Structure 1
Amino acid sequence: MPVHLSVPDDPGLQGENDMAAIDSTSRSGPGWRTPLVIIICGSLIGMLTFGPRSTVGFFMQPFSQEFGWGRDVFALAFAVQNLLWGIGQPFAGAVADKFGSVRVIAVGAFLYALGLIVMRYSSTPFELNIGAGLLIGFGLSGCSFNLVLAAFGKLLPPEWRGIALGAGTAAGSFGQFIFAPFTVAMIDNTGWQATLTTFGILMLFVIPLALVLATPKAESNAASPVQEQSFKAALTEAFGHRSYVLLVIGFFTCGFQLAFITMHLPAYLIDRGLPAAVGGWVIAIIGLFNIIGSLTVGYVQGKLPKRYILSFIYFTRALATVAFIMLPLTTTSALVFGAISGLAWLSTVPPTSSLVSLMFGTRWLATLYGFAFFSHQVGGFLGAWLGGIVFDKFGSYTPIWWLSVLFGVLSALINLPIVERPVDRTVAQPA
């Protein structure tokens, strides 16, 4: 019978396993699928899927005025979208890990497009929750940048991964930069219905792009305990690992802050007397500066401890929020807040994804990152929903701004004890 020895997971062995998977993919796939082509197509998917979603706040007031709804109605639909995106992400990641990414991304893009069309024809809160909530939420779980980053981890050589994770994250922000002013202009000139229809058509372009991100199906490898690890064993290992749990808890704050700002910042600026176009440019500035932030973090995470990078990001967000709500609000101060927030916007994603990969390898990367992302989306659900409820009750977003500051400080502290090394893993040896 086998004798079980507890030994550290060898990073060199893990790298050899990853490279073997990459070599196998390269031999079985078309020769034109170079690392650069993979990064470009994955980045286009991130841009197309994240861009329309980042503009959801611009539809809240048109919907509310059209149907006489309170802000809590539209906020709830967006909150449901965040929650279902988070619930679906681990399962979509598990399917992609086991059977490959193409079908998952293609089905997700179709559901996303369908959700936008249903949203366009919604006239009741229930219909809005089906379109904007259920369909788009589950659609995003299959085609968002999370699946793209996991595919990058499986398809690209180690020397390409850091910059690819930064580029894939930055691409979503570039989509935000493009779509934010474009959405404001389209709503003003063609109406919110035509804008949503246009977004639905654009989402179908994700399907052919997904072919480039085809990852191999999981295969049993007797020589590799990493490849043989089961789904249940991977989850047991991850949630019994203190550093992973801390990472998951800290990621909650990221979702809370991003969802609240995405959903409610445009309306907040209008409430304070600024034109709607300013909200469009602030969201666009967030996207533009996040390109800088994500690429910078993608580069420096190979040189600095990732836990310190995450703590710095969360603390920076907290300080920026305090300054924003305490100082007089002007167009300039709003744009400055957008720039600082942008630098720290999605720049948490590359180090978070890299830490999961470092701790557990790439075999169940999409799945384990998916569970971390579920925490992110629970935070997003509360950030979007509580923003609407608090405003309708108190006529102000101030309590949620301060709650966001508190969460930022707590997450800055939570990430500091994370240990950045591969998990100790039991390896079976012949008797």
Structure 2
Amino acid sequence: MATRLPKPNFARAGLAFTCSNNWRAVFSSRTIVGSNRIVLSFHLISDLPLFPTDWRVLKWPPPKSSVRWTGMPRPVDGSRGHGRNWQHSLCPLGGWGDGNFPPPSIPIGERRLCHDKDISLYHLKPGACMSVDRSEFRQGWKVVAASALGIGTGLSPIPFYTMGVFVAPLSAEFGWGVDQIMLALMIMTLGAMVMGPVAGLAADKFGVRRVVLISVALFGLTLAGFALSNGSLTLFYINWMLMAALGAGTLPITWTRAVNNWFNANRGLALGLSLLGTGLFGAFAKLYANYLIGVVGWRMAYVGLALLPLLLALPVAYFLFHDVTDKGATGAPAKVARRGFTLRQALRTYRFWVLAIAFVPIAFAVGGPIPNLEKILGSKGLDAQQAVQIASLIGPSVIAGRLIGGWLIDRFWAPGVAFVLLALPAAACLLLTGDGVTATPAIVAVLLIGFAAGVEYDILAFMVSRYYGMRFYGAIYGMMYGFFAFGAGFGPFIFGRMFVQSGHYDTALLYGAIALLAGAAMLLTMGRYPTPESLPGDDARPVTEG
């Protein structure tokens, strides 16, 4: 007589299942009469008429010998199935179990309709087959790698991180003042504020790959154009404005659009990895430019910097960077209906203005201290070498912020994560105020500031995709980036100006602490993520929020 097996507890058995596009799994089990076996069946159901773009078994420990978990598909077209065991392959081709054992029916209260058919594995066609061991990173790693390289050698980090090493040779060559040279960064910021939304809108309309390839090439050429400077400040400023306008397509606005499309369950971590390039290449570019200036002079140093996007980012992007809708996007998630807010619809929602206004003080308070760290630490009594060593910790902490922050927002409510991670640096600002700051609190403060600098980009991009969808992501994120750039661009200038006026940074740091708390607290009013089906589609009318 066969042993009667208890109804399995799937969570206790170690089975965890995840789906995208708002799909969910409904499990059931049946005992095979006359055998010592339990057959597990499940349905994927959703409110949307879409195939799941990604689904997989997250964990599957070796089962006990008394229970054999099987998953032998019977394709609806009558052909022989390819899946042998869930540990090896699982394709949603038809019924699950042994032979003709069908998936159980879904109760009426649990039914979801798609073209008047129950959404279940039994109804999926062979063309929708997806292997269980194909993770998002296995499919989308090329896009992440190309994005990290493109962002890292683009408009966001290269001019900002290398400006300092060009001040001395430019001043010696043309007699320009430091303030006159640094004004170029503000001009570039204003150009990015204006052209960022334009680049995002172009990516939405013409395709992100096309915009990226053209912009990377033009950015490299305009960067090399500084080698032709003849002493005219006007022409120098015009080239900065031209570089910002033509290079706006290399900002995270464009690259993260493709990353968001390729990733769903691991979107936050994928964004963090893509944005690692800003810290890694920013630090490298400064050392690289300083070396070139010493060897071949400042003019050829600009040419050498221009080779980074032209010889590295451009060919890599050409071969590896594809959005999910591009012809060369092998292994891309299934195409889904375009849903999301237009820019005009987004501007009518309170969430847009909460995000935009909140990130102005956040960007100001995080971006203001970073270029001034050596001076801040030196004004507190630390010697120059110690100040430089402590300030150099900003790089590793930014990387940690990118990875840990991305991992957290994949698993927890992003505004709540943002409140905690962006409010902590307020304590860092307070640690740096007063007289006689020692090395230990200075190290803690730098690590907290760097960690916040690592998560702010990721969280902004992530929340735009979750709250507004991907239909016009580029235009909406581009507009958001303008507000962010405004705060980040004026932060270093205001911190330095307050130091000149008062002889210390305490007032600016106090304002920074207040700004961080205020901006982070505003994000808590964002509310729940909208469900995918609640987002407007191509034929949707403009919507408003209360």
What is the match of residue 380 of structure 1? Answer: 488
Q: Is the CA contact 1:110–1:139 (under 8 Å) kept in the aligned structure 2?
A: no
Q: 1:184 to 1:286 in 2, by over 3 A?
A: farther
Residues 60 and 74 in structure 1, CA contact (< 8 A), matched pair in contact too = no
Distance (whole Å) between structure 2 residues aligned to residue 97 and residue 44 of structure 1: 21
Q: CA deviation at 1:330?
A: 6.6
Alpha-carbon distance in 1 for matches of 2:295, 2:381: 22
Moved more, 290-299 or 329-338: 329-338
Distance 1:347 1:236, change over 3 A: same
**Compared with structure 1, are the counterparts of its residues 80 and 313 closer, same or farther at alpha carbon in structure 2 (3 Å cutoff)?**
farther
Name whichever of 156-165 and 295-304 sits farther off: 156-165
Task: Please state how far the C-alpha of 1:392 moved relative to its aligned partner.
Answer: 5.4
1:48 aligns with 2:159: no
Alpha-carbon contact 2:266-2:410 (below 8 Å) kept: no
Q: Shift of residue 376 of structure 1?
A: 0.1
- Any residues of structure 2 matched to 1:146-157 within 5 Å, and which? 146-154=253-261, 156-157=262-263
Question: What residue number does 1:130 align with?
Answer: 238
1:143 is aligned with what amino acid? T
CA-to-aligned-CA distance 1:165-193 (integer Å, 9 cap, x gap): 11112232222343344455555666544
Matched, 1:92 2:203: no
The residue that corresponds to 2:188 in the other structure is: 81
**Residue type of the alignment partner of 2:483:** S
| Whole-Å separation in 2 of the counterparts to 1:115 and 1:283 | 31
Per the TM alignment, residue 305 of structure 1 is displaced from its structure 2 partner at its CA by 1.6
Letter in 2 for 1:166: G
CA contact (8 A) 1:89 1:370 kept: yes
Aligned counterpart in structure 1 of residue 338 of structure 2, from 216, 220, 227 = 227
Equivalent residue, structure 2, for 1:161: 267
Deviation at 1:301, TM superposition (A): 0.9
For 1:103, the equivalent position in structure 2 comes to 210
Q: Matched residues, percent identical? A: 20
Deviation per CA, 1:321-362, whole angstroms, max 9, x where unpaired? 221243535777655543222211131222222221111211
Is the 1:55–1:176 contact (alpha carbons within 8 Å) kept by the matching residues of 2?
yes
Q: Does 1:365 align with 2:473?
A: yes
TM-score by length of 1: 0.79
Question: What is the CA distance between 1:368 and its match in structure 2?
Answer: 1.2
- Do the aligned partners of 2:381 and 2:437 also contact (CA within 8 Å) in 1? no
**Amino acid across the alignment from 1:152:** V
Partner residue of 2:345 out of 231, 237, 246: 237
Q: CA contact under 8 A between 1:70 and 1:392: conserved in structure 2? A: no
Q: Is contact 1:114-1:135 (8 Å) kept? A: no
Q: Which residue of 1 aligns with 2:429?
A: 321
Secondary structure (helix, strand or coil) at the match of 2:161 reads coil
Q: CA separation of 1:398/1:73 partners in 2, compared to 1, >3 Å: closer, same or farther?
A: farther
Aligned residues: 402
405, 413, 425: which is aligned to 1:297? 405
Gaps of 5+ in 1: 1-8, 27-32, 218-223
CA offset digits 1:227-282 (Å, max 9, x no partner) = 377xxx61232122222321111111243235434544456567778787777655
Partner residue in 2 for 1:3: none
Q: 2:368 aligns with which of 246, 257, 260?
A: 260
Write the distance in 1 (CA, Å) between the matches of 2:388 and 2:209.
33
| Residues 268, 397 of structure 1: 8 Å contact kept | yes
Distance (whole Å) between structure 1 residues aligned to residue 441 and residue 300 of structure 2? 32
Give me the whole-angstrom Cα distance separating, in 1, the residues matched to 2:446 and 2:482: 25
In the alignment, does 2:183 pair up with 1:72?
no
Match status 1:39 vs 2:148 = no
Secondary structure of the structure 1 residue equivalent to 2:410: coil
Larger Rg: 2
Matched, 1:175 2:286: no
Shift of 1:296: 0.7
Residue of structure 1 equivalent to 2:313: 206
Does residue 347 of the first structure (1) align with residue 452 of the second (2)? no
Q: Does 1:59 align with 2:59?
A: no
Deviates more, 1:57-66 or 1:355-364: 57-66
| TM superposition score normalised by structure 2 | 0.64
Alignment check: 8 A CA contact 1:317 1:344 kept = yes
Task: Report the Cα distance in structure 1 between the residues aligned to 2:469 and 2:235, rounded to whole angstroms.
Answer: 41
Please tell me whether residue 117 in structure 1 is matched to residue 224 in structure 2. yes
The residue number in structure 2 matching 1:246 is: 354
* Structure 2 contact 160–185 (Cα < 8 Å) conserved: no
The gaps in structure 2 that reach 5 residues or longer are: 1-20, 24-45, 55-126, 131-137, 327-334, 541-546
Distance 2:508 2:166 in 1: 18
Q: Is the Cα–Cα contact under 8 Å of residues 61 and 267 in structure 1 kept in the other structure?
A: no
Query: Residues 239, 140 of structure 1: CA spacing in aligned structure 2 closer, same or farther, 3 A cutoff?
Result: same
- Bigger drift between 403-412 and 59-68 goes to 59-68
Q: Which of the pair is proportionally richer in helix?
A: 1
Structure 1 position 294, deviation (Å): 1.0
- Paired letter, 1:80: I
The range that moved more, 414-423 or 178-187, is: 178-187
Contact 1:72 1:388 in 2 (8 A): no
Partner residue, 2:40: none
Which residue number in structure 2 is paired with residue 421 of structure 1? 529
